[in-house]
Amino acid sequence: MGKVVYKVGDDVSTDIIYPGRFMATVLPTETPQHTFADDSDFNGKLNAKEIPAGSFLVGNENFGCGSSREQAASCLKGWELIIVAKRFARIFLQNGINLGLQMIVCPNIEADKGDELEIAGDVLKNITTGKEFKITPHPPARQAIIDAGGLIAFTRTRLLAEKKS
């Protein structure tokens, strides 16, 4: 269970999530400090560590559209936020999976900042409103990569398992 700490609308681009002026900073240990940098209130709360891991960021349609910059997913992963959206942009979705970013596709989500959310199997419960929303599951191969912590961790685990056999 966690709180919705940020809510955005449709067509949130990777440039909003991770502004292009910070593209010289690409290390996953450094990108988080620039998450939603143009929203000084939210960015400040993140950098002051006022937002706990496992908090929810809720988006609508086409979250992560725009460029293919991996840093947009990397900066969110650095805060261990759970991203819920009605729909993700294709390249952002794949970048997020490759990095092990917790992303939930929930086409009918209704949640506002401050609402308490809980994931219960294939349902996302809004504890605050009492409403429940069906989650669209990721294909098993994609979910396995997310669960492993990203593509590198997934591949490493598989290679080590093969080496032992």
Question: How many domains are contained in the chain?
Answer: 1
What pLDDT, in 10s, does the model give residues 97-135?
999 999 999 999 999 999 999 999 999 999 999 999 999
Instruction: Look up the domain containing 72 and give its range.
Output: 2-164
Angle between helices 151-164 and 140-148 (to 10 degrees): 90
DSSP string of 65-133, one letter each residue = BS---THHHHHHHHTTPEEEES-B-HHHHHHHHHHT--EEE-TT----TT-EEEEETTEEEETTTTEEE
The pLDDT value recorded for residue 159 is 92
Q: Which residue has the higher pLDDT, 79 or 160?
A: 79
For residue 14, the domain's CATH number is 3.20.19.10
Q: Is pLDDT above 90 for 67?
A: no
What whole-number distance in Å separates Cα of residue 126 and Cα of residue 29? 32
